[in-house]
Amino acid sequence: MKIITTGGRGFIGSHFIEAALDKGHTVLDIDFMGYCATPILPFDNHPNYKHLNKDICDIKHLPVCDVLVNFAAETHVDNSINDTTPFVHSNIIGVHNLLEVIRGKKEYERPLFVQISTDEVYGDRENGEFKETDALTPSNPYSATKVASEALVLAYHRTYGINYLITRSCNNYGERQYEEKLIPKCLKCMQEAKKIPIHGDGSYIRDWIYVKDNADCILTLIEKGIQNDTFNIGAGNKIKNLDVVKEIINWFGGNYESSIQFVPNRWGQDVRYALNTDKIASIGWKPKHPQGIYKWFN
């Protein structure tokens, strides 16, 4: 299979490319090497891999391919609160441009468009779990731009017949994650003997999945030929932020009280994310690392 990825030098995208190359697929990755991109990756010299340094907003032509998987996005909530412009640029204008390029192709040359989304599009809820059919009520500019990009994908399917797949994953963790995210930030703080900043009282709950499981799930959906549908991807690891931090401090044998610093909540703070994953389980997929962060480091 010929796959084009965008943002494949980033965290989730790079793990997806590894999985795709291991399965014998060819990958052209379009990535303009933003601040979260990894300059050196294990597959750089793989014969089936090629990198094109380009912004998705500037793409005018796509080579023939079977699938386009869009990982390219601005993703950090705090950054979106401080400056919304890069998020609108990448997450909305970029997606619009990709869809327009696909629309311009002959129908039989159009690839499947895979939009990588997030559980944050649902907003939060104190009890229960979100299903794929639930309303999307984003709480911050980042998640709002992801909702907008999903809406564009659905509209281009309805109006122009472009085939799509949308995945909404929970919090990812694993190798190569940029340090602004919770777990790598905790690791960096412990390594540098700095206090770990914790929003509010640390009681906010997130669902966690190992990045290689998320990549495997996305690739599984593609290889099964599933189209024009949306899937939640999670592993059922709903953990308080404070408990994640405590676990990482334990890895280093540190003292909890002296290793943390409570900081003000971010604006629009989501209290709890929780995905219902019955739909993805119904196609026979389940995570290979269901134990969560507790086994990852060791």
pLDDT digits (tens, 9 = 90+) for 182-198: 999 999 999 999 999 99
User: Which pLDDT value is given to residue 266?
Assistant: 86
Chain segment 88-137, per-residue pLDDT in tens: 999 999 999 999 999 999 999 999 999 999 999 999 999 999 999 999 99
Q: CB within 8 A of 131, min separation 6: which ones?
A: 232, 276, 278, 279
- CATH top-level class for 2-173+211-235+276-282? alpha beta
Fold of 182-204+238-274+290-296: UDP-galactose 4-epimerase; domain 1 (3.90.25)
HSE-up of residue 163 (Cα within 13 Å, Cβ side): 13
Chain segment 218-233, per-residue pLDDT in tens: 999 999 999 999 999 9
User: Which pLDDT value is given to residue 1?
Assistant: 97
The least confident of 42-51, 207-216, 289-298 is 289-298
Catalytic residues, by residue number, are: 119-120, 142
User: Which pLDDT value is given to residue 296?
Assistant: 60
Chain segment 62-90, per-residue pLDDT in tens: 999 999 999 999 998 989 999 999 999 99
Inform me whether the pLDDT recorded for 22 exceeds 60.
Answer: yes
105 by Cβ neighbours in 10 Å (0-12 / 13-18 / 19+) ranks as middle
Inform me whether the pLDDT recorded for 23 exceeds 70.
Answer: yes
Of 256 and 263, the one with more pLDDT: 263
Give me the helices (H) in the chain, please.
11-22, 77-82, 85-88, 94-103, 141-160, 182-191, 211-223, 241-251, 256-259, 278-282, 293-296
> Domain residue spans in the chain?
2-173+211-235+276-282, 182-204+238-274+290-296
Tell me the C-alpha distance between 255 and 246, whole Å: 9
Q: What is the average pLDDT across 26-55?
A: 96
